[in-house]
Structure 1
Amino acid sequence: MKIAVVAANGRVAGKVITEAVNRGFEVTAFGRKENNTDAKDYVQKDLFDLTAEDLKGFDAVVDAFGVWTEDTLSQHSTSLAHLCDILSGTDTRLLIVGGAGSLYVNPEHTAQVSDGPDFPDAFKPLAAAMAKALTELRERKDVKWTYISPAGDFQADGERGGKYILGGEELTLNSKGESIISYADYAIAMIDEIEKGNHIQQRISVVRE
C-alpha cells in the first residue's frame, strides 16, 4: 500500500512510519524539518502548504499533527480542515492521531475523560482543542476519515508488545483495569486499520491488551 504521513517529524509519526516501512508499505513522509524518519521518500513541506496534488494517489494519509501552546491550539482545527479540504471527494483515507481526553466515560456519551476530577488542568486546553477538531471532523461526509484515540496513558518510550484491544467511543480498560498504550503499539493499530480496517467516518480507540 502507498501511504503518506503528514507532520512526520514527531515521535508518534516516527513509530507509524517505521511500522509501515517494516511491513513493506510504500511510505512518503511530509515534515517541516529535515528527515528524521525511516521513510526513504521525504518531502520537506509544512502541512498548511500541502496541496491536493501532493497527496494524490495515496491509499491513506496519516495526520500526526500536534501543537501544545495556547497560541497554536486552534491549529488542531485548521490543520484538519485543510487536510479534509484537499482530500475531499477522493478515495484516499485520512487517519488522524487523536487524543484520549474526548473519549466518553458513560454509555450516554455525555461525560468525557477530560471532564473528570483527576484530569490535569494543564492538559484541559489541549483536550478541548482536540475535541473541537473532532466535533468538526464528524461533520465531514466528503472524506473517508478515521480518528484513532490512544489510551489515557500514552507512553512514548513504552515497549512494543504487539497486542492491543480495539475500542470505540468510550474509554476502554484492559484486564488489569489500565488505560495504557505505547507509541509503538499504537502504530501497530494504526497500520492494521489502514491495512484491513474499515472504520470509515468513525472514531476508534486502542489500549494495551
Structure 2
Amino acid sequence: MKVAVVAANGKAGRLIVKEAVERGMDVTAVVRGENKTASKNSLIKDIFDINKEDLAGFDVVVDAAGAWTPETVHVVPDAVKHLAGLLRGTDKRLLVVGGAGSLFVNPDHTQTVADVTPFPAEAMPVLNAHKEALAELRKYNDVKWTYVSPAGDFQADGERTGKYILGGEELKLNSKGESVISYADYALSMVDEIASGKHIKERISVVSE
C-alpha cells in the first residue's frame, strides 16, 4: 500500500509515518523542507502546491496539517478543501488528523465538546478550524474520506501503549473516566484505519484504554 503523509514533519505526522513504515507500508513524507521522518521517500512541496499528478501513485493520502495561531489556523480547513478537491472522483482515500472539540456529548448530537467546555478564548480559533474542516469533508460525496478525532487530552509526548478504544461521533471516555490519548497511540489508530479502510465517509474517534 502506497501512502502519502502530508505535513509529515509535524509531531503527529512524524509518528504516523513511523508507524506506517514499521508496518511495511510504502510511505512518502510530503514536507516543505528537509525530511525529518522515518521514511526514505519524500516530496518537497507546500500543501497548496500539491497537484493531482503528485498524488497519482498513492492509495491513501493522510492530511496531518496543524496550526495553532489565529494567523495560521486557516491552513487546517484550507488543506482539507485542497486535498479533497484533488482526490474527488477517485478511489484514493483521504484520512484527516482531526480535533476533539466537534465531538458530540449527547445522543441527540446537538451539543459538542466545544459547546460545553470553558476553553480559553485563544483556543477557539483552533477548535473552530478543525470543526470547519470536518464540515467541509461532509460536503464531498465523491471523496473516500475519514476524519479521525483524538481524545480531548491529546498528549504529544505520551507513551505508546499499543492499545486504544475506537469510538464514533460522540466523546468516549476510557475505563478511568478520562478522555486522553497519546500522539503515538493515535498514530497507531490512524495506521490501522489506513490498513482496513473500514470507515469511509465517517468521522471516528479514539481514546486510550
TM-score bucket of the superposed structures, by smaller chain? over 0.9
Q: Percent identity?
A: 61
Bigger shift: residues 192-201 or 94-103: 192-201
CA distance in 2: counterparts of 1:75 and 1:184, whole angstroms? 23
Q: Superposed, which structure 2 residues align to 1:100-119 within 5 Å?
A: 100-119=100-119
CA distance in 2: counterparts of 1:164 and 1:120, whole angstroms? 28
Check whether the contact 2:63–2:79 (CA below 8 A) recurs between aligned residues: no
Partner of 1:77: 77
TM-score, normalized by length of structure 2?
0.97
| Displacement after TM superposition at 1:133 (Å) | 1.6
Partner of 2:174: 174
1:92 aligns to 2:92 (yes or no): yes
CA distance in 2: counterparts of 1:148 and 1:190, whole angstroms? 7
Partner of 1:11: 11
CA distance in 2: counterparts of 1:59 and 1:33, whole angstroms? 24
Gaps of 5+ in 2: none
CA distance in 2: counterparts of 1:191 and 1:28, whole angstroms? 14
CA distance in 1: counterparts of 2:91 and 2:117, whole angstroms? 42
CA distance in 1: counterparts of 2:172 and 2:154, whole angstroms? 13
CA distance in 1: counterparts of 2:91 and 2:32, whole angstroms? 26
Check whether the contact 1:57–1:92 (CA below 8 A) recurs between aligned residues: no
CA distance in 2: counterparts of 1:198 and 1:85, whole angstroms? 22
Per the alignment, in what secondary structure is the counterpart of residue 110 of structure 2? coil
Gaps of 5+ in 1: none
CA distance in 2: counterparts of 1:12 and 1:129, whole angstroms? 17
User: How many residues get paired?
Assistant: 209
Distance 1:30 1:117, change over 3 A: closer
CA-atom RMSD in angstroms: 1.0
TM-score, normalized by length of structure 1?
0.97
